[in-house]
A and B are shown apart, each in its own frame.
Chain A
Amino acid sequence: MQQSPVMQTKISQTTIIQAQNLTYEFISHDNHIQVLRDLNLSILQGEQIAIIGSSGSGKSTLLSLLAGLDIPSSGSVQIQNNAFSSLDEDGRAAVRAKSMGFIFQSFQLLPSLTALENVMLPLQLKSQPNAKELSLEALDKVGLSARVEHYPKQLSGGEQQRVAIARAFATQPAILFADEPTGNLDKATGQIIIELLFKMNMEAGTTLVLVTHDVHLANRCQRQLKLENGVLTEQTGLVIA
């Protein structure tokens, strides 16, 4: 397979995400399950980080804690040197609105909204005055300017994920969280999506936190971290299986 040229962002020395002693545990059917154990992680501004691990290793949990979608059992997360995980639900939401974008494995487009409306939604939530123009521009960048009025069910999987990418970048976030962005796509489409994601990420200089079990994809990032048994280890030179 032809390897794509490496598109990497410029890294500054400012820490944008800082996780300290992060633990996440829950009790299920009387079993005490520890997903993350005393995990520490620093991510610099503009860095591209891949978190890899097998299914059920807690990758998505870690991502949701970093994004403030859930709260840790203990430990803390700081975003741009400000307390984040200790904020209340609305406080975290405000940080997300200001600084974060998301791409999900299952696209998470609202079926009742057109492609344009889906992209506009986060902008409208921020009362962005030129929401429509920004959204159209984002959709144009992902090559969907001809399909702005289409509903998700009228789009293919790859097109839906492109809408999700447009939605993620339209708000110009400082951090982009991507959870298995190619997990629901065939290999060829997945490749196109990856190219698009990295291209847009480089242009915007966004910090990328990517969760994947795809080693190829992880290799495209500047740093790879492996999550195993609740512990995160830095990987150097991942081997393509």
Chain B
Amino acid sequence: MSLSVRLAWTQTLSLWHSGALRVLVFSLVLAVTAISAIGFFTQRVETALNQQGGLLLGGDLAVIADHAIPDALLNRAEKQGLATAKTYEFSSMVVFGESSQLAEIKAVEQAFPLRGDLTLGKNTFDQGKVVKNAPKSGAVWVEPRLANLLNIKVGDVVEVGERKLHVGAILVREPSRGGDMFGFAPRLMMNAADLPSTKLIQYGSRVKYQLLLAASPQKINQYYVQTKPLLSRGEKIQDVRNARPEIKSALDKAQQFLGLSAMVSVILAMVAMLLSSLPYIKQSLDTFALMRCFGASKSTVLQVLAIQTILIAFFSALLGVLLGFIAQFGLAKLAGSLFLETLPPASSTPVFIGLAASIAMMFAVVLPHAWQMRNLTAMNILRRETLAQPISAQAKFLPAALVMCAMVFWQARDVKLAASTIVALVLLCVAIVGLSYVLVTVANRLFMLSPKSQVLNDMKLGVLGLKRRFGLSTVQMIGFSMGLMVLMLLALIRGDLIRNWQASLPIDAPNRFIINIQPSQINGVKQFFEKQEIKGGSIFPMVRGRLISKNGKDISTTQWQDERAKHLAEREFNLSWAAQMQSDNQLLSGRWWTPNEYGKPYLSIEQDLAKTLGIQLGDKLLFDVAGDPLMLTVTSLRKVDWDTMRANFFAVTPPGVLDNYSANYISSFHLPIGADGAMNQLIRSYPNLTVIDVAALMQQVRGIMQKMSSTIEYVFAFSLLAGLAVLYAALIATREERIAEATLMRVFGASRRQVSITYVAEFACIGLVSALIATIAANLLAYFISAQILNIPFQFNATLAFGITLIAAFIIPVAAWLGLRGFLNVPARQLLNSI
């Protein structure tokens, strides 16, 4: 072992035995524990949430094509160890006796569904049992709607193409039933092995071929990235986000929040490490100064310092990672029993994050001091000028700040989020420094006063402490307020996110759609609403039209590269009309029509559609409506909240424009529990109506949101732990100096009460200023993140802001007092000897 390593090792051991290192190690371990536990946990939850989302797709990823899936794609998936299942969807007539009905056939391989399950019933009223497999060869499962329409029972035999298949069960629920909600006929599910014998798939048949895939997120991601550029015309690859828009935004936001939590834990840990390293640095530099006096060369001293730093950072981080792993294990177990059945195993990434954070931060803190020491002469050291020779505070903290920024960018995984957080942190530092100067000015004024009351006098001494330790107090305030700010930010965003989710799917959100309502049936449907006391059951007209040209130029599907644009241009639009804009829509540009403009050929377009098809305000769009041309001018662009499950339209005209075209109507409403009988009666009266039940789907979406809310609560609670690490570190940053001061005050005759009042007053100021700045910064940043990144409304929470300010102003002095209290009972002489 080289001399430097030996010296570093013995030095570290003696520092540990003397107790000087324990505070730093404790703080490092706590910080790394928090950072890695949150890292492990959020990563596992993220994977679990994605898999939950995957239930709605039937797999983690789907390759969809209008022709048979190329073998190359399947082979690659199998080679990479992905689970696969092929499905085929097409429309065909299903015959039972004399009756026939158009159905949406889904032929699936035995492995389907790769994610999630199906619910099968014995009859159309059965709640059903959950199964995890596909129909066996020779059997079909039919939806209750198809069973009712054809009057089929379990055990009956139906004809699908040229094949006779027996009905094995009623398909009560198929979570992976997605796609265009208004375009589908009732479902019949069969085994793909029976497909050739039906002879339904011929050359030119319109079939949706699907290859479902499931594996770990890394493998899925790898497959996605590799496959996407290889897709040819008519092929696309989808994950749950682009397949199911209703869940996309919720999943995105949950992941952004988890990213935010991970980032917050990193900031907290970094601040804790930075603060707790200050006393260690001071002590180490004294030792190294002596080593220089005893003849150690500059390089030996620097080597010993570097090795010692690595030893401390590495072993603390190792212990922290271990504890973090144990902590997340408990957390995951608790979470598992409450809201997520099983969590996927943790990966090793958080181990590296913890180690990197610890080592990088320790080096960032030590570096400026080591640099300073390089230039000290032996005389400087003899005179103990190590710390007196000033390097500016900015230079001292710059490497640590850079390391922190890098870690924030790494963890946030969102440039906008990381950048805005860093800007907020910088502004917070500037505000704290500014306010510190104000406080010093106040302290200077206080200096002139001589209050008669002893308590006031002691408080004055406390406030004067801010002036005495201007630099350290400022660092301490920055530490406290950074910790408070990020915690408060998390609390605010968490509240907004959960509130937003709850609001997006209220308990009375529409759970049924009726389509194909004829004009003569509108009154009957309205009466049904009245009788069942259904509120908000509105009926919208719908006229189908195809977009032919824009501003005189013909629309051709080949002009777009984007699959979605092609798809939108190919399909018929449901044009609707309305006097008032729907309440869940938001006008982005242009203006809504006035009653005077009813009948004018105006059009309001949904913004995403406009963007995809390149439509702008003022464009003239020509539609073909049942063979007649209809020219409409775009007068407004709207934002539509599709998550609300209400009927909404891409294209809306003023009333009177579409009067001459035959329309049918659509309605969405909330059917109360127990009203199914009346609903069935309505359908019997108007057999042409198609009712789509989205209650099960909504339940699923709501369930996922609920799980995400719970996860967020858990992660938040754990982040508070990291916050405690900061509080602790900020308190110990000036502890030694304060103990020395308290001891001397006691030698001069101050009572313990007097000393306590002095410190409580000083820390109350520190707490109040930190909390005030943190509250302002957290609210501004939360506003920005809500509005610009998560796209959720921000709500200023006065109670939270006021409450946290008060609590911080209370907790910080109390914690400081508790930390010092022990020393107040030790005889002054013992402390004096150690000063």
Contacts and interface: CB of A to CB of B under 8 A. Distances in A.
Instruction: Please say whether chains A and B are actual partners in one complex.
Output: yes
Contacts of B829: 61, 64, 69-70
A10 interface: no
Given A69-B832, A70-B827, A112-B468, A127 B450 contact: yes
Contacts of A98: 749
Contacts of A104: 832
A108 B835 contact: yes
Contact of A125 (B749, B827, B832, B835): B749
Interface in B389-439: none
A169 to B, nearest CB: 13
Interface in A77-110: 89-90, 93-98, 100, 102, 104, 106, 108, 110
A71 interface: yes
Nearest to B454: A127
A115 interface: no
Interface in B784-835: 824-825, 827-830, 832, 835
B832 A108 contact: yes
Nearest to A69: B829
Interface in B444-463: 450-452, 454, 457, 460-461
Contact of A97 (B750, B753, B824, B827): B750
Contacts, number: 84
A42 interface: no
Describe B's contact surface by its main secondary structure: helix
B750 A71 contact: no
Contacts of A112: 468-469, 472, 737, 741
Given A69-B832, A89-B825, A112-B469, A121 B754 contact: no
A102 B747 contact: yes
A131 interface: yes
B751 interface: yes
Q: How many interface residues does chain B have, given as a range?
A: 20 to 34
Contacts of B748: 96-97, 102, 121-122, 125, 171
A180 interface: no
B744 interface: yes
Given A64-B829, A69-B829, A93 B461 contact: no
Contacts of A122: 748-749
A113 B443 CA distance: 14
A208 B72 CA distance: 100
B744 A93 contact: no
Interface string A222-236: 000000000000000
A71 B748 CA distance: 17
B827 A113 contact: no
A186 to B, nearest CB: 14
Interface string B13-26: 00000000000000
B740 A71 contact: no
A94 B825 contact: no
A126 B749 contact: yes
Contact of A96 (B457, B469, B747, B832): B747
Contacts of B824: 89
A47 interface: no
Nearest to B749: A97
Contacts of A96: 747-749
Given A90-B753, A100-B749, A125-B461, A110 B741 contact: yes
B835 to A, nearest CB: 7
Interface string B740-773: 1100111111111110000000000000000000
Contacts of A106: 835
Interface string A125-146: 1110111000000000000000
B388 interface: yes
Which of B454, B745, B748, B828: most chain A Cβ within 10 A? B748
A126 B745 CA distance: 11
A150 interface: no
A113 B830 contact: no
Which of A67, A100, A113, A125: most chain B Cβ within 10 A? A125
Nearest to B825: A89
A147 B659 CA distance: 96
Contacts of A97: 748-750
Given A93-B752, A97-B749, 6 more contacts: A90-B752, A93-B750, A102-B747, A112-B468, A131-B450, A153-B388
24 contacts: A61-B829, A64-B828, A64-B832, A67-B747, A69-B832, A89-B752, A89-B825, A89-B827, A90-B753, A93-B749, A102-B747, A108-B835, A110-B740, A110-B744, A112-B472, A112-B741, A113-B468, A121-B745, A121-B748, A122-B748, A124-B457, A125-B750, A127-B450, A171-B748
Interface of A: 61, 64, 67, 69-71, 89-90, 93-98, 100, 102, 104, 106, 108, 110-113, 117, 121-122, 124-127, 129-131, 153, 171
